[in-house]
Structure 1
Amino acid sequence: MIKKFADTVVCQEHSSTHVTLQITIEPDLFWFQGHFDTFPLLAGVAQIDWVMHYFAQFIRDDLQFNGIQQVKFQQPIIPNDVITLTIDLASDALLTFEFKADATKSKGKIRLKPKG
């Protein structure tokens, strides 16, 4: 079975427009297969996928990805990292996110549109 999402996800804060999750990055995730053999890291596309997955699970499932307005990958997310993912719904058309450990790993803004 392909494992795309971490098994250890703890919801720390949750409201109708905000969620903060603590995620343990397990080394057996699908995203680490071949990315990269000598220095595995969680690819940017995986991080965006996780943001949208947890956004739909915890905040709104009637909105979908409509493009990236801004994103900055500052430090790699690697196996066994324990990170905090914060997602905020800024409006019906925009969400913001941040992956953080000791420092910010990545952050950005994603444009949204209604599903359908």
Structure 2
Amino acid sequence: MNKEIKIPESQVVTENQQEVVLQLSITADVMYFQGHFPNAPVLPGVVLLDWAVQFAQRYFPFFSAHVMEVQALKFQKVIHPNSQVILNLNKSGDNKVVFRYHSCEGLHGAGRLLF
């Protein structure tokens, strides 16, 4: 990703060498809701993907700065303003992170990042 997308406020729920679980507060003033869509704002999937990359690089700093491939990317439920979402990051092997966004509404999105 060329341009860094600002990540939301987060609180670590669990952190170890293999897994990080974060609680994200996605407030209505997050700029990515603007224009997507005016009367029914939802968080764009590309933002969720970029946040997963940025958090993976923050908590697993041995990964290179570049994502080589994104696999099994799927978005199931939209995220609306003023949501509390959990992001699970699981290190898999030497160069892979599996991510999942979920809340009380269910699974919002998931995928694998290859660094």
TM-score bucket of the superposed structures, by smaller chain: 0.7 to 0.9
For residue 68 of structure 2, give the secondary structure of its aligned residue in structure 1. strand
CA distance in 1, matches of 2:11, 2:112: 23
How do 1:65-76 and structure 2 match up within 5 A?
65-76=67-78
CA distance in 1, matches of 2:97, 2:77: 21
User: 2:16 is aligned with what amino acid?
Assistant: S
CA distance in 1, matches of 2:82, 2:110: 20
Shift of 1:61: 4.7
Alpha carbons of structure 1 residues 79 and 90: separation in structure 2 relative to 1, 3 Å: same
Shift of 1:4: 2.3
Alpha carbons of structure 1 residues 61 and 34: separation in structure 2 relative to 1, 3 Å: farther
Select the residue among 71, 76, 89 that pairs with 1:87: 89
For residue 74 of structure 2, give the secondary structure of its aligned residue in structure 1. strand
Select the residue among 105, 108, 113 that pairs with 1:105: 108
Shift of 1:49: 0.7
- Among all aligned residue pairs of Structure 1 and Structure 2, give the percentage whose two residues are the same amino acid: 26
Alpha carbons of structure 1 residues 13 and 59: separation in structure 2 relative to 1, 3 Å: same
CA distance in 2, matches of 1:61, 1:98: 21
Aligned residue number for residue 63 of structure 2: 62
Shift of 1:92: 2.1
Is the 1:19–1:59 contact (alpha carbons within 8 Å) kept by the matching residues of 2? no
For residue 41 of structure 2, give the secondary structure of its aligned residue in structure 1. coil
Is 1:45 equivalent to 2:73 in the alignment? no
Q: How does the TM-score come out when normalised to structure 1?
A: 0.86
Q: How does the TM-score come out when normalised to structure 2?
A: 0.87
Query: Tell me, which stretches of 5 or more residues in structure 2 are unaligned?
Result: none
